[in-house]
Structure 1
Amino acid sequence: MTASATFAADAAFLLTEQHRDPVAGQGRVPERLPVAGEIAVLPHASEFFAEAVLAGGGAIGELSSATRGLVWLSEQRAEELTEILQAHPGIGWVQLPWAGVDGFAAVLARYADGSGPLFTSAKGAYSEPVAEHAVALAHAVLREFAPKARVAQWAPVRTGLSLYGRHVVIVGAGGIATEIIRLLQPYRVRITVVRRTASPMPGADRTVTTDSLHEVLPSAEVLILAAAATDETRALIGAAELALLAPTTALVNIARGALIDQDAVAEALREKRLLGAGLDVTTPEPLPAEHALWSQPRCLITSHSADTPEMTAPLLARRITENVRAFLGDSRFVGIVDPAAGY
């Protein structure tokens, strides 16, 4: 979930331990194991990520009939990935660069029947920086940073809301949601998680299924979207859902722009039916300059920068190393993608 759809080809990143991957070491064995062999790093050369492959014991080679594994670093060139997989059916494992894989939807759809390679993503790896950004946006909206920063004069009245003790509704139950819950603990908030199943979420006060979303929205004081972008979650928050929110609710989206009806959000902000919106993601990206959201003083848009290449590159490198070890014999892959489900 980065601003760029392609990782830089050179090793311009500092491999630090600033962030950890919360799901590292929690891999699982897929139903069908890929055959180990040479690994190609495409669609461009990258010494940085090649070193990550070597750190896992992998052998790097040019794309050929001997290629069995593929580290793919570009979302913009997803169509090219499809062509490569069709031309090289011996490739049994593909590592994708992002946590969200909706940019590869067309590629995954070809293998929804379980055929083709094992796909893994960076799912969970970027949880810390993205969750940090989500909480920062929640603070910013509640404290009214956006409208205050846009007015070139001293505010006549002190305004703003505190995060302490609020009811936070989080849509999604993946690694990012888990980390958001952890970061919110000092604020003594009440947390409701909305997910596909009602299985309890550690740290949450309540867990409900998606069909109960309308039930929990009226009491939400902060609504954070952290779910995968799928056909089921498209426009999950639209005019009907926004109408259920209190006018003092803060909306935060660090998932994908497709989860919300942006025109409906702009209208809710214009009519003051929403305290504010903190959006790191939009549809499309970049959001056109003429879009109504840019003109809403209570909308803070951070241009898909919840995680930067400097933050994600070391995390992706460690994910690559771990999955290369799985590919070569450990068999416990992290971030396995279900092509049928799309995430």
Structure 2
Amino acid sequence: MGNWDAELIGLLPDSVRVFASAGAGFDWADVKLFGEKGIVYCNSGLAAAEAVADFSAAHESATGLSRNLRGHVLGLVGFGNIGQQIAHRCSAAFGMEITYYDVERKSAAVEAGLHARYCMTLESLIRSADCVVLCAPGLSLGARLVNVARGALVDQDALADALEQDRLSSVALDVHANEPHINERLKKLASSKALLTCHNAGGTIETHVGFEELCMRNIMAVLGGREPITPTNIQWLR
């Protein structure tokens, strides 16, 4: 679809009050400019959280390659809806130790409920983790890396360097820097060290139904004079 920047946003009539996106990410939309134009921008990340969290723990070639997860340290970069769901699954079901880094530390109750330990810096998280999962919404590596967030979070050539030099044992990428194109060096490692999927971690039936429903609930809330459910740009709203 392209980016929703000043060129496109400027074409919207003044009557527009809410932009509800049937998707989790909003790196392609200038949410600040939407706010300055008086438009609430709502995303639908809540609807995809469960499916993306499930996907992050999947492995298509487990025999002889994967490790038992119990006792291993999982480092989560970003501890929002998806990060917390991954923590719950990997702690309760797999017995993993959970660490996380986020720009805002979560409450003691949230940490205790998920048996999660906060890391003060991204570097300290990476140094202590056996596997790092990127689940931050916007824009360095453990022994294994999983990215279900955004492709731009990772320098793909640096990632290929780390794999080729055995500084990183394996990667699983559902998102890529230049979609729909995949880094050629990473494609060559697809049969050995790289599991590459096509930005479909949240592509379950329940997610798509949830996207549509959450969009409509956001629209009805704003047009009904109530607070939106999942706004992203309230701080810039005119």
Identity of aligned residues (%): 27
Per-residue deviation, 1:260: 0.7
Q: State how far apart, in whole Å, the 2-side matches of 1:258 and 1:334 are.
A: 27
Structure 2 residue 119 is the aligned partner of structure 1 residue 208: yes
- Is 2:151–2:175's contact at 8 Å kept on the other side of the alignment? yes
- Pick one of 84, 93, 99 that aligns with 1:192: 99
Q: State how far apart, in whole Å, the 1-side matches of 2:116 and 2:84 are.
A: 13
Structure 1 residues 159 and 286, CA gap change in structure 2 (3 angstroms): closer
Secondary structure (helix, strand or coil) at the match of 1:336 reads coil
Q: Which AA in structure 1 matches 2:52?
A: V
Q: State how far apart, in whole Å, the 2-side matches of 1:159 and 1:225 are.
A: 21
- Pick one of 116, 130, 140 that aligns with 1:221: 130
In the other structure, the counterpart of 1:180 is 86
The structure number with the bigger radius of gyration is 1
- Pick one of 25, 47, 57 that aligns with 1:135: 57
Q: State how far apart, in whole Å, the 2-side matches of 1:278 and 1:118 are.
A: 34
Structure 1 residues 276 and 82, CA gap change in structure 2 (3 angstroms): same
- Aligned-residue CA RMSD in angstroms? 2.4
- Is 2:87–2:116's contact at 8 Å kept on the other side of the alignment? no
Q: State how far apart, in whole Å, the 1-side matches of 2:96 and 2:198 are.
A: 28
Deviation digits for residues 38-93 of structure 1, max 9, x if unmatched? Answer: xxxxxxxxxxxxxxxxxxxxxxxxxxxxxxxxxxxxx43736752442xx112111
Q: State how far apart, in whole Å, the 2-side matches of 1:133 and 1:221 are.
A: 18
Q: State how far apart, in whole Å, the 2-side matches of 1:198 and 1:308 are.
A: 29
- Is 1:131–1:176's contact at 8 Å kept on the other side of the alignment? yes
- Is 2:21–2:215's contact at 8 Å kept on the other side of the alignment? no
Q: Which AA in structure 2 matches 1:121?
A: N
Structure 2 residue 22 is the aligned partner of structure 1 residue 97: yes
Q: Which AA in structure 1 matches 2:9?
A: T
Q: State how far apart, in whole Å, the 1-side matches of 2:153 and 2:225 are.
A: 36
Gapped regions of structure 1 (runs ≥ 5): 1-74, 149-157, 234-240
Deviation digits for residues 80-117 of structure 1, max 9, x if unmatched? Answer: 752442xx112111112211111113xx34246x4421
Structure 2 residue 198 is the aligned partner of structure 1 residue 291: no
Q: Which AA in structure 1 matches 2:89?
A: L
Q: State how far apart, in whole Å, the 2-side matches of 1:250 and 1:89 are.
A: 48
Structure 2 residue 33 is the aligned partner of structure 1 residue 110: yes
Aligned positions, number:
228
Q: Which AA in structure 2 matches 1:293?
A: L
Structure 1 residues 160 and 119, CA gap change in structure 2 (3 angstroms): closer
Secondary structure (helix, strand or coil) at the match of 1:124 reads helix
Per-residue deviation, 1:304: 0.8
- Is 2:100–2:118's contact at 8 Å kept on the other side of the alignment? yes
In the other structure, the counterpart of 2:145 is 251
Structure 1 residues 227 and 283, CA gap change in structure 2 (3 angstroms): same
Deviation digits for residues 103-156 of structure 1, max 9, x if unmatched? Answer: 113xx34246x44211111122210111111111xx45xxxx28x7xxxxxxxx
Q: Which AA in structure 1 matches 2:157?
A: D
- Is 1:100–1:228's contact at 8 Å kept on the other side of the alignment? yes
Structure 1 residues 110 and 325, CA gap change in structure 2 (3 angstroms): closer
- Pick one of 198, 207, 221 that aligns with 1:326: 221
In the other structure, the counterpart of 2:160 is 266
Per-residue deviation, 1:309: 6.7
- Is 1:257–1:281's contact at 8 Å kept on the other side of the alignment? yes
**TM-score for the superposition, normalised by structure 2:** 0.85
Q: State how far apart, in whole Å, the 2-side matches of 1:324 and 1:266 are.
A: 43
Q: State how far apart, in whole Å, the 1-side matches of 2:66 and 2:223 are.
A: 54
Secondary structure (helix, strand or coil) at the match of 1:206 reads strand
Alignment of 1:47-126 (within 5 A): 75-76=1-2, 78=4, 81-85=8-12, 88-105=13-30, 108-111=31-34, 114-126=36-48
- Is 1:193–1:204's contact at 8 Å kept on the other side of the alignment? no
Gapped regions of structure 2 (runs ≥ 5): none
- Is 1:111–1:339's contact at 8 Å kept on the other side of the alignment? no
